[in-house]
Amino acid sequence: MSSSTDLPETVQRVARLLQDLGHDQHVVMLPETGKTSAEAAAGLGCEVAEIAKSIVFRRLNDDAAVMVVASGVNRVDEGKVAALVGPLGKADARFVKEKIGYAIGGVCPIGHLEKTVMLIDQDLLQYTHVWAAAGHPHAVFKLTPQQLQTMTGAPVADVALRA
């Protein structure tokens, strides 16, 4: 692994935050991009479902960022999320970078620039460990679903689109 000063600034920020939280897992830099759940899973040798992907929406009534941390195999049901947090709109790359602090493809569930409304996909709870983005498309870190809940303070909800 590279020294922490060789890492992109956003990854260094996540690494410091994880250390401050007492997290026992280091940031892993993937040789290939982990922009999609499938790419990250291939690079890590895990199931796509074990990727904790961060999907960001814009809440219409107050322009707040709403993040859903979902299992990599699930599509997020926008209607279910809106029923829990209020009407939603799309969040473009600029909105995500300004509100959350990370570029799309590397959005981390912690260390946001502004207070973020968050939900965790209940389907993640079935896994011993999951992998989340660490501030860059090539950076990830391992954690338990319980650690994800503790770090984010986010409630668990049924947010998956079911056929």
Structure tokens at 113: 């620039």
pTM: 0.93
CA distance 17 to 120: 20
**Bridge partners, 30 (sequence order):** none
4-157: CATH superfamily: YbaK/aminoacyl-tRNA synthetase-associated domain (3.90.960.10)
CA torsion 12-17-23-26 (nearest 10°) is -10
Question: pLDDT tens digits for the chain (163 residues)?
Answer: 444 558 899 999 999 999 999 999 999 999 888 888 999 999 999 999 999 999 999 999 999 999 999 999 999 999 999 999 999 999 999 999 999 999 999 999 999 999 999 999 999 999 999 999 999 999 999 999 999 999 999 999 999 999 7
**Cβ–Cβ contacts within 10 Å for residue 94, how many?**
9
